[in-house]
Amino acid sequence: MAKKTTKDKKAVEKIDYAPIRPQLITETIEKNYMPYVMSVIISRAIPEIDGFKPAHRKLLYTMYKMGLLTGGRTKSTNVVGRTLTLNPHGDAAVYETMVRLTRGYEALLHPFIDSKGSFGKQYSSDMKYAASRYTEVKLDTFCNELFSGISKDAVDMVDNYDGTLKEPVLFPTTFPNVLVTPNMGIAVGMASNICSFNLAEICDGTIALLKKPNLPTEKLMEIIKAPDFSGGGQIIYDAEQFKSIYETGQGSFRIRSRYSYDKVNNCIDILQIPYSTTIEQIMDKIAELVKSGKVKEITDFRDEIDLSGFKLTIDIRKGTDPDKLMARLFKLTPLEDKFSCNFNVLIDGTPRQLGIAELLTEWIKFRTVCVRRELTYELGEKKAQLHLLLALGKILLDIDKAIRIIRRTEKEEQVIPNLMEGFTIDEIQAEYIANIKLRNLNRQYILNKIAEIEDLKREIENLEELLGDEFKIKAYIANQLNDIKKKYGQPRKTQIIQVDNVPVFEEPKVESYPVYMVLSKEGYLKKITMRSLQGNDEQKFKEGDSLLTAFNADNADELTFFTDKCKVFKCKVDDIETTKASLLGDFVPAKLGMDAGEKPMYVTTQQGYPEGANMVFIFENGKGVRVPVTAYETKAVRRKLTSAYSDASPVVAILDDTDKKPRDVMLISSDNRAIAIKTALIPQKTTRTSSGVTLMTLKKGQTVTSVQIDVEDTKGYKKTKIPATGVPIMGEQLKID
């Protein structure tokens, strides 16, 4: 390596390093993190009162400016390219936003984009949309309700990201789109998940609130019955559950698929599925159930989606009751799913969680401002038109004078001042008169124009009266909502079934009968009936394998396996196939999904989690602990628990006992010493991972190598206090394989 020259050393010495200033974490969050958080919340993930996120608004406004509200379709790639002038986040993101708004994707009750080509489907994760160069789009006529007042100053316009164009802050939607279009967004520290409602019901509910702002929730629920999804399905209606959602904007409800039974082909046709799931998720779960043997009535199932719509066909065995099978599948698969509501909306730039009445009230406030601005704009236009026509009325009195003034004016710039002076009119009126074509300077034309003055005066009077009366503004909004309902209203797609009318699925009761369980050290488990056991009691094991434990059980019991990796696995005895003593049995690690090399060390059988029952763990370092079996109880149906016991020292023995019936255990150390104690002496800890207390004092380098359980002859080794020092083993009676 070359040595540094004097010149290089001087250059290094001249570097002026900035001092490192310690910064409080709160200051870092405030200055560096909070701007990002607010940007995600306000400018990306949470919808506003018009029901749109910025990405949706920029795309639709671009299409509006392109003239796609009335013209023919254009290639999607044209729209994507033009949208980048407002939304510079990449063409892929813009196109994905477009896809979700199209009629072809089938995600919306009222699509905003009329599409041609392949756009995938909302109910399938495998059906992908075609590239933007192949598909075509235009705005649906429904979008007239988004842009109706945008040219009349109904909303504020702001600069785009580089200040070259103007775009609307919000759309002046003539209906509460925030509750008609489903919307989901995940921000930082908050999220939004708004389900769609039927447009006709929302219009009726809004009209009811316009008439009676303090409308009780129960009355609103009679009008807006429940959410309505583009994919249909059936909502399981619980009145109290929905009342909470309507009032707080938070909660969940269940939605299930709709099906029909084809007697001729002996199959079930699933025709509609929950909005929150996909056909692939459903088929994967059905395949899992069929493969595991939990559902034996299904012989085949397949995706039969075609141009006519959604269809999932399930072939069933002869004699199967389709309704009972579907009740079971509703419980075990996403054919019945849960939709979680979180009505988080930006109101004046502030995220708020609102109930339905509150959301509609906020929309009414927003819409009232839009209507006032539209009417004020129209009033100004009509007043300006009247102002010009009044000047035309003065011209009518002496048309020849107007012509004479223009003819005798020597310079063009004097025409306007001369007309102003000759007819006592202002500059705007004079400019209007000067621009009238010569062919229109006839009495008939001027009289026809002047006839409009009275109509304009009446319209101006009506507008001023409307703007001055809050009740008339509300009536105006209500009339618009009625018109929208008549024009775009549709019957409900999602059916409502009362929770009391839903058949309750009960898992078939497991047959109860005695069995004999045999577990080998390698993890092979056999379930043998007592009749089979009487015929052949010779147990066969794999070469190199041997018996770990054997015990009596009931077919209705639950098995709990403790592994050498500090985990617990659970399964029903009924889940184990009945076999013979001469066979190897089920390989537990594979059946329960254990990790590679993981083996069961102990298995216990029980019905429930009785008080006073414990698991006892004795470790290599001479410590032990008792953990109540209730510590392994779970509310959900979980087959696996991690951190089942402490990993501070290798476990030597696992056993179970009860507070009323403690067991005798003998600990044997590597230096050939032993102690015998009752498990009642071992302290109980409620934490599963407790490392326990010292039971046997060991010299440095010594460990507990084995534990004998239920030893009858403990004379000379019995201890009544812990920790206890081991007694040297005499004779051969304690030698263990």
- Residue 331 corresponds to which tokens in the numbers above? 């419980």
Dihedral class, residue 248 (left if φ above 0, else alpha if ψ from -120 to 50, else beta)? alpha
Distance CA 241, CA 217 (A): 12
For residue 537, what are the contacts with CB-CB under 8 A and spacing of at least 6? Answer: 581
Query: Residue 220 burial (CB < 10 Å; 0-12/13-18/19+)?
Result: buried
Other beta carbons less than 10 A from residue 424's beta carbon: 9
Distance CA 316, CA 267 (A): 6
Query: What is the 3 state secondary structure string of 672-730?
Result: CEEEEEEHHHCCECCCCCCCCEECEECCCCCCEEEEEECCCCCCCCECCCCCEECEECC
How far are the Cα atoms of 51, 225, 268, 366 from residue 221, in angstroms, in the given order? 21, 5, 34, 23
Dihedral class, residue 428 (left if φ above 0, else alpha if ψ from -120 to 50, else beta)? alpha
- Residue 596 corresponds to which tokens in the numbers above? 């590679």
- Residue 306 corresponds to which tokens in the numbers above? 């075609």
Closest CA to 485 of 190, 176, 150: 176
Which residue is associated with the tokens 């109880």?
Answer: 633
For residue 276, what are the contacts with CB-CB under 8 A and spacing of at least 6? Answer: 255, 337, 338, 339
Closest CA to 620 of 550, 567, 564: 564
Length reported for the chain: 737
Pairing of strands 613-619, 623-628: antiparallel
Other beta carbons less than 10 A from residue 195's beta carbon: 24
DSSP annotation of 31 reads I
Other beta carbons less than 10 A from residue 155's beta carbon: 20
Q: Which residues, in sequence order, are bridge partners of residue 301?
A: 314
- Residue 698 corresponds to which tokens in the numbers above? 């060991």
Start-to-end CA distance of the chain, whole Å, equals 65
Distance CA 227, CA 605 (A): 46
Helix, coil or strand: residue 606: strand
- Is 39:351 a contact under the CB 8 Å cutoff? no
- Is 285:279 a contact under the CB 8 Å cutoff? no
Single out the catalytic residue among 33, 134, 161, 513. Answer: 134
Active site residue 95: no
Over the Cα atoms of the chain, what is R_g?
A: 40
Range 237-245 contact pairs with CB under 8 angstroms and sequence separation of 24 or more: 237/496, 237/497, 237/498, 237/499, 238/499, 243/217, 243/218, 245/341, 245/355, 245/356
Dihedral class, residue 468 (left if φ above 0, else alpha if ψ from -120 to 50, else beta)? alpha
Distance CA 734, CA 675 (A): 11
Pairing of strands 586-587, 568-572: unpaired
How far are the Cα atoms of 194, 196, 221, 341, 346 from residue 353, in angstroms, in the given order? 11, 16, 19, 10, 9
For residue 348, what are the contacts with CB-CB under 8 A and spacing of at least 6? Answer: none
Distance CA 727, CA 325 (A): 64
Helix, coil or strand: residue 281: helix
Residue numbers annotated as active site? 134
